[in-house]
Structure 1
Amino acid sequence: MKCVFFNLLVITALFSCKQANKPIVSKVLVDSLITHYTTPQAVKDNAADMQFWKNRINPNSPDYSNALKYAATLISRFHLSGDIHDIKTADSVLLKTAADFNGKEAGPYLSLVGHYILQHRFKEADSIFHLATAIGIKKYETAATSFDINFELGRIALAKQDLSTIKSNNDYGYQFRKSKMMHFSGDLDSSISAMRTAAQNAGRDVTLKMAALSNVADLYIHAGQLDKAYDCYMQCIQTNPADMHSIMGIGWIALMNDKNDSLAESIFKFVTTKTQSPDPLFKLVSVAEQRGDSALALQYAHAFEAKASDTIYGNMYNKYLLQLYTGQLQQPAKAEAIGKKELDNRATPQTYAWYAWALLCNNKKDEAYSIYQKYVSGKPLEGLELYWMGKLMRSLDKGYNASQFFKQANKNYYDLDPTIQKDLTKNLE
């Protein structure tokens, strides 16, 4: 009965959000979602699968297939619960399996590549990928995984070559990766189209389909089409009520479009009770900003810092931490240190832009401009980096350049937090 009631609410909410001059996010829907939340079937199924594969592993002899499947269930649980320890356990299982087979099986290494990318351990992913290819993997797996690594490390020309190798309009992996490349190139419409095609190509694989659809929603946020983003997020939530990424997406729309900070706050606080990830704490900083409560924003910023700076996360939250250290937390020296660390992890125009911004905030304007000229100028950037480079240009009295950066940043207005939005609007006047 609860499922029927929830589905009726969803249909009503989807219809009402289309009406002119109406908020997109329904408070009735959100209240129902939170009040009637029960452990989703996906969580129960994952727990059962995990126990099944774990029990099949023979501790007294090398085990390949069962160990890999057990590791995969741990990664699935990480996506459901946000517990970083699940990734670390999965890594340990795969490394042991690789050792048990004397490094002669490519499978454990190939799986580890994905795990390391997930943890922003990009150079390690590259190294272990070479181990897998030396043992021998299929042509498609080689090109697809090579794309993932090259793209993250900023080796875009090589990533484009990899993409052309796996080109197939009916292939999920190709369309998913094509969408990432189109987004990087600034062609947002083509990026959305490719990701939608990826969702269609997923067929009956619900996990792949929902991954693509939630990415479509994120892209619609980038494009400022929040009603379409809402529709996609709701489809994901209908399929998997434990999809906290999509639930937070709904909260962001409530904050950005509806200006309903109380509703957004209730959503993000709900998510903090269902995931161990630091992400909802970062969103709550923006809720406090929208409300104009600087003390509360600082409180949430400290809470996020305490969790996200734990060494177990490695480089996963560098960008968010750098943003807070140059914002609410006002610790530019820490921001500069993170910027340097990120460059060691992946030296791309984006990470150089982060470093340049940190240098500027740490009163190193000349160094910041030098980094900009060498590594950032003329390169594609996201909304936040565009805003930061606009601020750098403004500090150098380069008014025209600053205005161009601000105009470009404004195209990704809804990616930015409320404080930056206000400052951006002021700089565009």
Structure 2
Amino acid sequence: MKKIYLNAITLIMASIYLLSCEQETRFKTDKADYDLYLSHNSMETTSKYFELWNNKIKPDSLQVLSLVNVSGEYDRYFKGTGNIEFLKKAERSLKKAVEFAAVGKAGYLRALARNYISQHRFREALDLAQEARSFGSGVNATQSLLFDVEMELGNYDVAKQYLDSIQNMSDFGYLIRVAKWNDHKGDLDTAIRFMEKAKQKAESSKNRGLLSWSYSNLADYYGHAGRIEESYGLYLKTLALDPYSAHAKKGIAWIVYSHERNGNEALRILDSIINKNKSPEYYLLKAEVASFMGDDMAQVQALDDFYKLVRNKKYGDMYNAYNVDFYLNLDFNEKALALAQKEVKNRPTPESYGWLAYSLLKKGEKKKALELVEGHIANATFEPTILFRAAEIYKANGKTQQMEDIKKELLGSMYELGPLMESQITGL
């Protein structure tokens, strides 16, 4: 009787699982949901607000407030267009504000530090954040900034101390950072719970900027958790607030590509982004989708377009990791290694060490690669792409059990990794 009872439970559980899978596979995007945003005009890079403050800035005047407001508009234009010129103009305005400010200098230092974070100038950002702290004003804002910078630099123990110092379950800024911390630790469920609380705070405030940010970031988390339909819904909500959000459009393109395996539609979405936003990374995703479709010409063209853009020296170190991957795919292993070494020096995170280890593997230095994996990557990150490179290094060094352990984790991250990597993972 007990055996029959257990078999019945097993059958019921299997039926529930199959039903849930069927419901998930039934979900499909609808281009009618997002076509309006794809055809939206490019962002206007001027406004009455911008002109008002910009006209107050004279060569011989010290209009600090005007400089700060203008820099905010430049930052907004950069996010909407991907044009690096706007980020650099924002930097110049903020540097002048810091130079001329008689009061409120700590706030201007924090703003400039955030600009440097966007440029991946993390050590300079840290210097500015520490200088801002010396003024003793806006302590919570400075501690939050220091958490952000230390996370980017891979100083996780120090970052946790700053996070603990700003603990406040009613504060949006704390909630998004504790979500980021839990995601870093590999606790995605807890990260999602905190981001959902942050979303609720944003909805209560009715602040469009906070709403757009929380919707798009929670959409990312839902995608990582396999909650594809919820992720899609939040990307649409983001676009309803901000039709220029390339991040949300890219999120939808990824769903169409990775979940639905619809390369043509994913390319259509990406092309609509590229027509209005000049950030180089969209060309890399276009190259990946084209490769998945077997369109060699489109892949090569997308990679060429990427390379032409990132040659602009104004990008500085912003695309170092992307460029390491780019060089490795072309078997330019010496260039990849040199750039990976530079990135580790600038930003000693598990991701940077992952690229350095992988570059060493490609040069045939598998033992050195393994040393980096064991010293800087193992148990330090849960990012699937980093773990995949670590698995290849374990395999090359005959560490079969470690490779198999990672492979099991990766098999549960197929959506996040994308269909192009599916055969590579199964072939480990």
- 2:278 paired residue number: 276
Cα distance in 1 for partners of 2:327, 2:219 equals: 29
Match runs of 1:98-113 below 5 Å: 98-101=98-101, 105-113=105-113
The C-alpha deviation readout for 1:128-176, integer Å capped at 9, x for no partner, is 2222222332221121111111111111112111111111111110011
- 1:148 paired residue number: 148
Q: Secondary structure at the match of 2:381?
A: coil
Match runs of 1:175-194 below 5 Å: 175-194=175-194
Q: Quick one: which amino acid aligns to residue 419 of structure 2?
A: P
Cα distance in 2 for partners of 1:144, 1:30 equals: 35
- 2:217 paired residue number: 215
2:238 pairs with one of 219, 236, 254: 236
**Residue 326 (structure 1) shift:** 2.1
Identity across matched positions, percent: 28
TM-score, length-normalised on structure 1?
0.89
Q: 1:338 to 1:410 in 2, by over 3 A?
A: farther
- 1:313 paired residue number: 315
Cα distance in 2 for partners of 1:26, 1:46 equals: 33
- 2:399 paired residue number: 398
**Residue 356 (structure 1) shift:** 0.4
**Residue 351 (structure 1) shift:** 1.4
Q: Secondary structure at the match of 2:427?
A: helix
- 2:55 paired residue number: 55
Q: Quick one: which amino acid aligns to residue 247 of structure 2?
A: H
**Residue 263 (structure 1) shift:** 0.5
Aligned residues: 405
Contact 2:110 2:142 in 1 (8 A): no
Q: 1:107 to 1:34 in 2, by over 3 A?
A: closer
Instruction: Spell out structure 1 runs of 4+ moving beyond 6 A.
Output: none
Match runs of 1:338-349 below 5 Å: 338-349=339-350
Q: 1:168 to 1:245 in 2, by over 3 A?
A: same
**Residue 309 (structure 1) shift:** 3.9
Q: Quick one: which amino acid aligns to residue 136 of structure 1?
A: G
Cα distance in 1 for partners of 2:198, 2:215 equals: 9
Further displaced range: 357-366 or 413-422 = 413-422
**Residue 293 (structure 1) shift:** 2.6
**Residue 402 (structure 1) shift:** 0.7
**Residue 406 (structure 1) shift:** 1.9
**Residue 373 (structure 1) shift:** 2.6
1:25 pairs with one of 29, 32, 35: 29
**Residue 260 (structure 1) shift:** 0.8
Q: Quick one: which amino acid aligns to residue 162 of structure 1?
A: Y
Cα distance in 2 for partners of 1:167, 1:104 equals: 24
Cα distance in 2 for partners of 1:316, 1:364 equals: 27
Contact 2:195 2:214 in 1 (8 A): yes
**Residue 357 (structure 1) shift:** 0.8
Structure 1 residue 260 and structure 2 residue 262: aligned? yes
Cα distance in 2 for partners of 1:206, 1:29 equals: 20
Contact 2:83 2:278 in 1 (8 A): yes
Larger Rg: 2
Q: 1:53 to 1:104 in 2, by over 3 A?
A: closer
Further displaced range: 298-307 or 148-157 = 298-307
Cα distance in 1 for partners of 2:418, 2:299 equals: 12
Q: Which runs of 5+ in 2 are unaligned?
A: 1-21
- 1:12 paired residue number: none
Q: 1:80 to 1:414 in 2, by over 3 A?
A: same
Cα distance in 2 for partners of 1:308, 1:52 equals: 33
Q: Quick one: which amino acid aligns to residue 416 of structure 1?
A: L
- 1:424 paired residue number: 425
The C-alpha deviation readout for 1:88-111, integer Å capped at 9, x for no partner, is 111111112222348982232111
Contact 1:199 1:210 in 2 (8 A): no
Contact 1:383 1:410 in 2 (8 A): no
Cα distance in 1 for partners of 2:243, 2:349 equals: 36
Cα distance in 2 for partners of 1:238, 1:164 equals: 35
Structure 1 residue 415 and structure 2 residue 416: aligned? yes
2:295 pairs with one of 293, 296, 310: 293
Contact 1:309 1:317 in 2 (8 A): no
The C-alpha deviation readout for 1:191-231, integer Å capped at 9, x for no partner, is 11211221221212111111111011111222222222111
Q: 1:326 to 1:44 in 2, by over 3 A?
A: closer
**Residue 232 (structure 1) shift:** 0.8
Contact 1:322 1:339 in 2 (8 A): yes
TM-score, length-normalised on structure 2?
0.89
**Residue 271 (structure 1) shift:** 0.6
Match runs of 1:197-212 below 5 Å: 197-202=197-202, 203-212=205-214
Q: 1:241 to 1:101 in 2, by over 3 A?
A: closer
Q: 1:57 to 1:32 in 2, by over 3 A?
A: closer
Further displaced range: 353-362 or 97-106 = 97-106
Contact 2:38 2:273 in 1 (8 A): no
Cα distance in 2 for partners of 1:135, 1:88 equals: 26
Q: 1:422 to 1:44 in 2, by over 3 A?
A: same
Cα distance in 2 for partners of 1:287, 1:311 equals: 27
Q: 1:313 to 1:30 in 2, by over 3 A?
A: same
**Residue 239 (structure 1) shift:** 1.6
Cα distance in 2 for partners of 1:23, 1:338 equals: 42
Q: 1:228 to 1:140 in 2, by over 3 A?
A: same
- 2:4 paired residue number: none
Contact 1:349 1:381 in 2 (8 A): no
Contact 1:254 1:264 in 2 (8 A): yes
- 2:72 paired residue number: 72
Q: Secondary structure at the match of 1:56?
A: coil
The C-alpha deviation readout for 1:371-405, integer Å capped at 9, x for no partner, is 22322233223110000000001111111111112
**Residue 295 (structure 1) shift:** 4.1
1:226 pairs with one of 217, 223, 228: 228
Q: 1:294 to 1:362 in 2, by over 3 A?
A: farther
Q: Quick one: which amino acid aligns to residue 217 of structure 1?
A: A
Structure 1 residue 373 and structure 2 residue 374: aligned? yes
